[in-house]
Amino acid sequence: MEDLRLWIVGSIGIDTIETPAEKRAELLGGSVTYACAAASFFTRTGAVGVVGDDFPEAFRARYRQFGIDLAGLQTRKGGTFRWSGVYEADFINRRTLETKLGVFADFTPHLPDPFRNSPFVLLGNINPGLQLHLLEQVRGQPFVAVDTMDLWINIARPDLEQVIRRVDMVTLNDTEARLLTDRHNLLECARAVLAMGPRYVVIKKGEHGAMLFSAQGVALVPAYPVERVADPTGAGDCFAGAFMGFLARTGAARVDEPLLRRALLHGSAVASFGVEAFSTERLEQLTLREIEARVQALRRMSTPGIDAG
């Protein structure tokens, strides 16, 4: 069996989602779900998370369908994390109706031994104190990315800043970048985050694509223009998972700027597929050939021919 090259930690949930077009309940969700599914197209990926004893066996089967290693999945007595929300007409802004943390409230992650040598790590949405706990369990010097959110910026900034100092890359959206740095201009935000310690910062801008910042400069990738958005939940997690999965697939001895730019395109491509259906339904039907075709389309959009006449 292929060695595990990437593990991802975060939330695993059961969602109820309402969009302007449809309402669906009892959906498989959570940051681990979307990120691991997206990464699985490129490399063998391990999930680190917790579910309750109410977690359906059918959902575990869907993880196995993606080839996700479940050795890091804890099952505890109680309810699985649940979230319900409603999207506004723009499919961007949403309102949370209910959150039930369940067993996620007392989650203490533990890395199975085979995970500890993985060369790539994605620290998804959990308390930064737990992210630090996991970093103490890794061996070697993996390439580590952290994907944070406004909650931890507001309530756990000291631990979050410790995490940022220890990772190679930080990914966050434009709102979170401004909140973290108390700046508005995204270039200034990125410079401020880079000054905290990481080598790279990725700022996600939803339908406007993503920006990669480093000491070498700035790289931009557009979002693929999806004709029909069904459910935007998990788009950022799909982006981060595919980004890290692509890096892990290459087997490169070191991560450099050209490789990261290629990873940006693959992250954007997979995220665009994820929003075309609810939960992981579109990803379950997706092929690597479709991903590569959309990557090429994004590449053409990013570098069109220009008539200087």
Determine phi and psi for 16, rounding to 5 degrees: -120, 120
Mean pLDDT of 98-114: 94
Return the percentage of the chain with pLDDT > 90, whole number: 83
Q: Is the pLDDT of residue 308 over 50?
A: no
Q: Is the pLDDT of residue 230 over 60?
A: yes
What CATH class does 6-302 carry?
Answer: alpha beta
Cα gap 247→224, rounded to integer Å: 20
Q: What distance, in Å, lies between the first and last C-alpha atoms of the chain?
A: 56
pLDDT tens-digit readout, 34-62? 999 999 999 999 999 999 999 999 999 99
Q: Give the per-residue pLDDT at 192.
A: 97
Residue 92 pLDDT level (bands cut at 50, 70, 90): confident
**Of 100-114, 203-217, 275-289, the least confident:** 203-217
Evaluate the CA torsion angle 99, 125, 31, 175 in order and state its sign. positive
Cα gap 269→297, rounded to integer Å: 9
Determine phi and psi for 28, rounding to 5 degrees: -70, 125
For residues 47 and 64, the answer to whether their CB atoms sit within 8 Å is no
Cα gap 224→298, rounded to integer Å: 6
Residue 253 pLDDT level (bands cut at 50, 70, 90): low
Residue 1 pLDDT level (bands cut at 50, 70, 90): low
pLDDT tens-digit readout, 167-221? 999 999 999 999 999 999 999 999 999 999 999 999 988 778 899 999 889 999 9
For residues 229 and 274, the answer to whether their CB atoms sit within 8 Å is no
Residue 125 pLDDT level (bands cut at 50, 70, 90): confident
Helix ranges restricted to H, the chain: 31-39, 57-65, 128-135, 150-155, 157-166, 174-181, 186-194, 235-250, 257-274, 281-285, 288-302
For residues 217 and 90, the answer to whether their CB atoms sit within 8 Å is no
Q: Give the per-residue pLDDT at 207.
A: 79
Q: Is the pLDDT of residue 307 over 60?
A: no
Q: What is the mean pLDDT of the chain?
A: 93
CA 106, 107, 112 angle in degrees (round to 5)? 150
User: H or E segment at 170?
Assistant: strand 169-173
- Sequence ranges of the domains in the chain: 6-302
For residues 115 and 135, the answer to whether their CB atoms sit within 8 Å is no
Work out whether strand 200-204 and strand 169-173 pair parallel, antiparallel, or are unpaired: parallel
Better pLDDT: 153 or 283:
283
User: H or E segment at 121?
Assistant: strand 120-123
Task: Order across the sheet with 81-87: list the strands.
Answer: 23-29, 13-18, 81-87, 94-100
User: H or E segment at 48?
Assistant: strand 45-52
Q: Give the per-residue pLDDT at 306.
A: 39
The encoded tokens of residue 278 equal 């609810």
**What pTM was computed for the model?**
0.94
